[in-house]
Chains A and B, each alone.
Chain A
Amino acid sequence: MDEHDAVRSLLAGFIAGALQADDSERVRRHLDGCADCAQNAAVLQRLVQMVQRLPGDVPGPACLARITDVARAHRAKVLESRRQAGLTVAVALLGWVMAAMTLPLWQWLAGVMRVWSGWKIPADPLAAFALGALLSCLFLPGIWAMLERVRVACKWEVRQ
């Protein structure tokens, strides 16, 4: 393959900007002295310009407005579900904290009511934490219902 044929095979890559710098330079040098290849390069360049300016379908304003509405509503749903997930975590944490804080109260009540006088908060922090977590299960539904009522009362909605 001589230089002319080699450059000819590189022309599309050259016009597409897909050649290495040295190959681009090689093509450029050849084009300066070869009218045939320069003409071919001009044809490819014209094709590229035509592709860039091709008329074609584009979505109309009504379509864009509809997509915007659907997208916004979907985003609102995503934010709402994330808010619910955050609320669930907050409730769980709050339940644990309350359970841990009220452990002495439960112990005292148990003593007064003589339900189980031997009941004591475990000295081991891990065991105390586990007991708190267990008790928190009793608190969660109540706390959840309470926070939901507050949310509805305050009309906390996803910002539009």
Chain B
Amino acid sequence: MATDTEADERILILQARRGSRDAIAALVARYSHGLFRYLLSLSGDPALAEDLLQDTWLRVMERLDSYRPGYPFRNWLFTVARNRAFDVLRQRSRRLPHWGADTAEGLANPAEEVPDPNPSVLEKLAEADLAQFVMKAMKSLPAAFREVLTLRFEQELDIGAIARILRLPASAVKDRLYRGLDQLRLRTERLAKHG
């Protein structure tokens, strides 16, 4: 049975299909923050992410009629955003390292993956300091890792949904996820130790 939010969303989508400004404004307000954070994780540039966000909504307006109500709207939006981002980034001849590969193999330096047997310096760090280091470490991660970490932890999508958005097997998503988390930890620790 559909929840109130889902029913409300369905009504908004129907009204947006007919061109209602209020419904489009409500959808844009509801989903733009999450989409922007995701697009930022792909592009690494706030100005470009804003352009991509607008492009995404334009594409959504074109394809709104092809959206099937049974599929979660948010996941559909992220799929549209990802496709749009890749089109634009390709046109701008940005380098897209390893995106589209089935696994994240080769993304990480194997030497970095050796777990440090010593107690982590991250335990003792204050929240504010840790936030700074994590933010820097996230920015330094390969895009494929940053993407899955953003979708899983910031957007709280499940692995099945991420796999559909990335068009990858769930096993490849899991692989990227835990290797990405390992990398995030190692890079955050390195930043905490050496600044």
Contact = CB atoms under 8 A, between A and B. Distances in A.
A78 B62 contact: yes
A134 interface: no
Interface string A54-72: 1111110001111110111
Q: Give chain A's interface secondary structure class.
A: helix
Interface stretch (A15-23, A84-92, A97-105, A109-117): A15-23
A1 to B, nearest CB: 12
Prevailing SS type, chain B contact patch: helix
Contacts, number: 137
A58 B28 contact: no
B153 A59 contact: no
Interface in A34-66: 39-40, 42-44, 46-48, 50-59, 63-66
A56 B25 CA distance: 22
Nearest to B148: A16
Given A51-B134, A57-B46, A18 B28 contact: no
B4 interface: no
Nearest to B159: A18
Nearest to B115: A8
Interface in B114-168: 115, 119-120, 122-123, 127, 130-131, 134-135, 138, 149, 152-154, 156, 158-159
B98 to A, nearest CB: 19
B50 interface: yes
Contacts of A46: 122-123, 130
A26 interface: no
12 contacts: A16-B152, A44-B181, A46-B122, A51-B138, A53-B131, A64-B25, A70-B54, A71-B28, A74-B61, A75-B19, A75-B61, A79-B18
Interface of A: 8-9, 12-13, 15-19, 39-40, 42-44, 46-48, 50-59, 63-68, 70-72, 74-76, 78-79, 158-160
